A and B are shown apart, each in its own frame.
Chain A
Amino acid sequence: MLKIQNLTKVYMPANVRALEDVTFDVPKGQFLAVIGLSGSGKSTLLRCINRLVEPTSGKIFLDGQDVTVANAEELRRVRRKIGMVFQHFNLVHRSSVLTNVLAGRLGYTNPAWSLINRFPKADIEKARYQLERVGIGDKTHQRADALSGGQQQRVGIARALMQDPEIILADEPVASLDPVLAHSIMQYLEKINAEDGVTVICSLHFLDLVHRYAHRAIALNAGRVVFDGLPKEIDDERFKEIYGQEAERVG
């Protein structure tokens, strides 16, 4: 369903080549892990898919539609099918949990209605349901910054789910959480992947998480794909290819 062809991103004016000729396909329903060192281009890759970052060249096809040439209105329709979960949760701190979750519907809501801060009843019901689903139904009316890190990330997931996404892009979703919470968040993503059939593309730092949750792994090094295969195929030799000769395995 997602095809990425020869994707290249060069950050100007510093001329940093963040992605170099990246090509891969993601079939529907896959849990794909993207690994690599910090600065290897994982975040840029994910952000190119929903064009938070404009690709320099190459094509991205979502269900046959070329995302890279979509105009403003088409892009809105593309983006609302792609949920995104962030390392730092990116919640609006002063807004309530409910409002944060409802923001996931903005791609569907008429901007004129947003002007008066109105969401349809069905959306509000849906938001409550998604909050129940990630286990924080009791926090609905609290301010987002009153929640702990793990709870905030669950709000982030609920927000992505509000979009009825076909794909969820998770940019290091557990990097700011302790190992116990990390597993809990990954299990929610796993559950969404399994139950709703949502394709998940998740960048991760810890290989044990990759082994435990991902169907497939792609490794980036300096913007190039250096590995594409099953997580269990990453042996010591592959590991050094991905992370460099000096690297040592932890965990």
Chain B
Amino acid sequence: MKTPKILKSILLGLAILLALVIYAYGFQVTKVNLEETREPRRQMQLTRILRALVRPDIFTYEKEEFTVSLPIYTPCSAEAEALPEPIADSPYMVMSPTCADPSTEVTVEGFNFEPNTTGPLNFIPPSGVSLQMGTITTDNDGHFVATVKLPKRPDTVAQEIRAITRRNVGGPMFSKNAKDTWEKIIETVFLALLATTFGVAIAIPISFVAARNIMTPITSPFTSIAISILLIPVGIVAGGFVAGKLHTLADLMTGSIWGALAGVIGTPVLMWFIFRWAVPPIEDEPPTRFERIARPIAIFFTSLLGILFLYLVSSLAIQFGKALIVPLGGLGFLGKFIASLGDILMTLIPVVTALAGAGVLGGFAGRVGQWVVEHSSHSANRITNLVLGGLAGAALFAIIGAGINWLYQIDNAWTTFGIPAIVGAIGGVILAGFLSRTATLPIGFFIYSLTRTLLNGMRSIESLVMVIIFAVWVGIGPFAGVLALALHTIASNAKLYSEQVEGIMAGPLEAITATGANRLQTIIYAVIPQIVPPYISYTMYRWDINVRMSTIIGFAGGGGIGFLLQQNINLLNYRAASTQMLAIAIVVASMDYLSSKLREKAI
């Protein structure tokens, strides 16, 4: 059907009208005010700030102060003593008339001053408290004329008019503001560097989980998923428990230096031998039954040794680093750095161990489930599925309930544990009954979607907002900024990276799969070589962005140069603020150039 011409015109007219209304409202809410921009007072303020901004406070000079005094009488008095005559060669002032009533205007003239200086012209009553009457500016000959009003301070004795001028001596020096700016801009660059490093280190593994082409092929039968849900929390707890025990053991060993050394040297050697036996480089024959059982046990013990080794290393690093701080003197931060690395490692071990526990038990659950599907009868599998489905559903929802309770502090066992568990159990049973026994669920796609959703949510919160939470946690300062920027880096780079994984050529992936490589090998040999250049490029780009962000993250308590900038703006110290703006501009521009150069190299 054709719209009649007249109707079209009317619609167009209405659309234009609507647009006008929208913009009119926009003007209203954003308070567009042209009157204000034309007002002389405002224009003067603008001029002042612009003039301050183009004169950044960077250099300063040693100053020499000259004081010239002129005794006067106010009001004039007959019995006044004769005032001393000025010496013609040195600086002197003359007031005309030579005496006057208070609150009258007089002219003060100065001779033989330092040329081209400025300074205050003060009135000093007998009390000694100086009152500023005006400022003076000398010309090329060191001469000035100022018309000032005498203050309302009549007295019978001689009072004093004092001019103070300052002169720069010596060459220019960096001002305190310039030094502060330098210190803070260095802090800013390193803040960005650390945030990028931490963020990227976590974003890379996440990016694989957030890549559709890696995750979608992962499917699993219902039985496997149900057992996994039940076993993964057990794995996390068990992993944490094992880590705790090993930590205690490591502490015992590091009690004596010999125990520590023996541990640090002994565990890797032992690990190497067990590894050589348990993980043969070539898998020619299918493993025997004994090997099938013994090898995983051996690998388990190797992992325990590995965790112990890491604990020993981290604890030694902390001790060693702390011991180094004093003897290293100026380089003491190196010792502190080693200790911090040890601390980071020590913090990460239980997390990694818990995750590993979850991974091991999850993988084991997958195999058990697969075995059940393959080896049990139809009806037996149906019944196990119903039971497992109920249990897994209950467990999953109970965990979610516990999370909600932690956040909202409902503290009612029935609403936060009972009801979710029952709902979950019913849901699980229904799902188990609904699905066919051998059907595989797209668990990979589910994890992919969940990760993507979380990343998108996290990305929508600006780091400037995130820093507020971190500033509460770790205190206002650059570390809060590092954490906030790192979190934002994880969110955005994980997504950018995963898009690169999704964009790789499928051919090599197919070819490597065809050789019999498992998923891990396929990723190492077909995916990683393809994504290295874009990963480097995006990392550089993120560093660039983080430098930019870190210049303002201080506005919200994140340390760096933004903190200084905000302070100076609030103090209306625009010349100092100008220095910081200049520093930001230089750093951002050079970072921009550097990162584009490096990115060119990476590809």
Contact present for B525 and A108 (CB under 8 Å): no
- How many positions in chain B have a CB within 8 Å of any CB in the partner chain? 31
Docked pose: A242 CA to B517 CA in angstroms: 36
B526, A107: Cβ atoms under 8 Å? no
Q: Judge whether A6 is part of the interface by a CB distance below 8 angstroms.
A: no
Chain A 87-117, CB-CB to B under 8 Å as 1, else 0, gives 0111111110001000111111111111101
Q: How far is the CA of A162 from the CA of B517 in the complex (A)?
A: 13
A71 to B221, CA, bound (A): 13
List B residues 311-334 near A (Cβ within 8 Å): none
- Contact present for B524 and A109 (CB under 8 Å): no
- A103 and B521 alpha carbons, distance in the complex (Å): 9
Kindly state the separation between the CA atoms of A37 and B281 in the bound complex, as whole angstroms: 44
Smallest beta-carbon distance B508→chain A, Å: 4
Residue with the highest number of chain A CB atoms closer than 10 Å, among B281, B284, B514, B524: B514
Q: Are B532 and A52 in contact (CB under 8 A)?
A: no
A-B contact count (CB 8 A): 108
Contact of A52 among B282, B514, B521 (CB under 8 A): B514
Q: Does A120 contact B (CB under 8 A)?
A: yes
- A104 neighbours in B (Cβ, 8 Å): 515
Contact A82-B514, Cβ < 8 Å, known A95-B529, A109-B521, A115-B520: yes
Q: How far is the CA of A106 from the CA of B516 in the complex (A)?
A: 7
* Contact indicator A106/B512 (Cβ below 8 Å): yes
Contacts of B245-294 to chain A: CB distance below 8 A: 275, 279-284, 286
User: How far is B243's CA from A89's CA once the two chains are assembled, in angstroms?
Assistant: 47
Nearest residue (CB) in A for B506 is A90
Are A111 and B532 touching (Cβ within 8 A)? no
Q: Which of B516, B518, B526, B533 has the most CB of A within 10 A?
A: B516
Question: Interface readout for A135-159 with B: 1 if CB under 8 Å, 0 if not?
Answer: 0000000000000000000001001
Residue A50 interfacial (CB < 8 Å): yes
Residue from A73, A80, A90, A110 in contact with B511 in the complex, judged by beta carbons closer than 8 Å: A90
Known: A94-B532, A111-B518, A163-B515. A86 touches B507 (CB 8 A): yes
Establish whether residues A114 and B510, one from each chain, have CB atoms under 8 Å apart when the complex forms: no
**CB-based contact A114/B516 at 8 Å:** no
Could you say which residues of chain A place their CB within 8 Å of the CB of B514? 50, 52, 79, 82, 84
- Complex Cα–Cα for A92 and B524 (A): 11
Which of B275, B283, B520: most chain A Cβ within 10 A? B283
Q: How far does the Cβ of A90 sit from chain B's closest Cβ, in whole Å?
A: 4
With A95-B529, A118-B281, A120-B282 in contact, is A106–B521 under 8 Å at CB?
yes
Tell me the complex Cα distance, A105–B515, Å: 7
In the assembled complex, which residues on chain B have CB atoms less than 8 Å from the CB atom of A109? 281-283, 521
The smallest C-beta distance from A167 to any residue of chain B, in angstroms, reads: 11
Task: Tell me if A133 counts as interface (CB < 8 A to partner B).
Answer: no
A121 nearest CB neighbor, chain B only? B281
Q: How far is the CA of A109 from the CA of B370 in the complex (A)?
A: 24
A95-B529, A112-B279 known; A71+B512 contact, CB < 8 A: no
**In terms of DSSP, what is the predominant structure of the interface of chain B?**
helix
Q: How far is the CA of A114 from the CA of B510 in the complex (A)?
A: 18
For residues 76 through 99 of chain B, which have their beta carbon under 8 Å from a beta carbon of chain A?
A: none
Tell yes or no: B197 within 8 A of A by CB: no
CB distance from A98 to the nearest CB of B (A): 12
Q: Indicate whether A212 reaches chain B with its CB closer than 8 angstroms.
A: no
Docked-complex contact B530 and A114, CB < 8 angstroms: no
Closest residue of chain B to A103 (Cβ to Cβ) is B525
User: Is B374 part of the binding interface, using a Cβ–Cβ cutoff of 8 Å?
Assistant: yes
Min distance, Cβ A53 to any Cβ of chain B, angstroms: 10
Q: What's the minimum C-beta distance from A251 to chain B, rounded to whole angstroms?
A: 27
CA distance A90 to B532 in the complex (A): 18
Give the chain A neighbours of B513 by CB distance below 8 A.
52, 79
Check: A232 CB closer than 8 A to any chain B CB.
no
Give every chain A residue within 8 A of B511 (Cβ-Cβ): 84, 86, 90-91, 103, 156, 159
Q: Which residue of B lies closest to A72 (CB)?
A: B518
Which residues of the partner chain A approach B510 to less than 8 Å between Cβ atoms?
52, 86, 90
**A76 beta carbon closer than 8 Å to chain B:** yes
Chain B residues near A118: list those with CB within 8 A: 281
Chain A residues, Cβ within 8 Å of B518: 72, 76, 111
Fill in one digit per residue for A8-34: 1 if any B CB lies within 8 Å of its CB, else 0: 000000000000000000000000000
Query: Do A106 and B515 touch across chains, with their CB atoms under 8 A apart?
Result: yes
Residues of B97-144 contacting chain A, CB below 8 A: none
Interface string of A155-187 (1 = CB under 8 A from B): 010010011000000000000000000000000
Verify B281–A80 contact, CB threshold 8 A: no
Whether A77 is near chain B, meaning CB under 8 Å from some CB there, is yes
A218 to chain B, nearest CB (A): 21
| Contact A107-B507, Cβ < 8 Å, known A92-B525, A114-B520, A114-B525 | no
B516 touches A163 (CB 8 A): yes
Rounded to whole Å, the gap between the CB of A83 and the closest CB of chain B is: 8
Minimal Cβ-Cβ distance residue in B for A114? B521
- With both chains docked as a complex, state the minimum distance between the C-beta of A82 and any C-beta of chain B, in angstroms: 7
Asked if residues A103 and B529 are in contact (CB atoms below 8 Å), the reply is no
**Whole-angstrom distance between the alpha carbons of A159 and B514 in the complex?**
11
A7: shortest Cβ distance to chain B, in Å?
A: 18
B533 to chain A: closest residue by CB: A94
Q: Mark A57-71, 1 if CB is under 8 A from B, else 0.
A: 000000000000001
- With A86-B507, A114-B525: A80-B515 Cβ-Cβ less than 8 Å: yes
Q: Mark B520-552, 1 if CB is under 8 A from A, else 0.
A: 110011100110110000000000000000000
Nearest chain A residue, comparing its CB with the CB of B532: A94
Q: If A103-B515, A108-B282, A109-B282 touch, does A114 touch B524 (CB 8 Å cutoff)? A: yes
A86 to B505, CA, bound (A): 14
A110 and B283 form a contact (CB under 8 A): yes
**Is the pair B526, A77 in contact by a Cβ cutoff of 8 Å?**
no
Contact A110/B281 with A50-B514, A80-B515, A91-B508 known, Cβ cut-off 8 Å: yes
| Cα A241 to Cα B434 with chains together (Å) | 47
Q: Are B526 and A92 in contact (CB under 8 A)?
A: yes
Residue of A nearest to B286 (CB): A77
Given contacts A52-B514, A90-B510, contact A99 B525 (CB under 8 A): yes
Q: How far is B285's CA from A73's CA once the two chains are assembled, in angstroms?
A: 12
Q: In the bound complex, do residue B283 and residue A108 qualify as a contact, i.e. CB atoms below 8 Å apart?
A: yes
- In the bound assembly, the distance between CA atoms of A108 and B374 in angstroms comes to 25
* Chain A residues, Cβ within 8 Å of B521: 106, 109, 111, 114
A81 and chain B: residue at smallest CB distance: B516
Cβ contacts under 8 Å, A95 to chain B: 525, 529
8 contacts between A and B (CB under 8 A): A92-B512, A104-B515, A107-B515, A108-B284, A112-B275, A113-B281, A114-B520, A159-B515
Known: A92-B530, A103-B511. 13 other contacts (CB 8 A): A86-B507, A91-B508, A92-B525, A92-B526, A108-B284, A109-B282, A109-B283, A111-B520, A113-B279, A114-B524, A114-B525, A117-B524, A162-B515
Residues of A within 8 A of B (CB): 50, 52, 71-73, 75-80, 82-84, 86, 88-95, 99, 103-115, 117-120, 156, 159, 162-163
The 5 closest A-B pairs by CB, nearest first: A107-B516, A80-B516, A90-B507, A106-B517, A90-B511
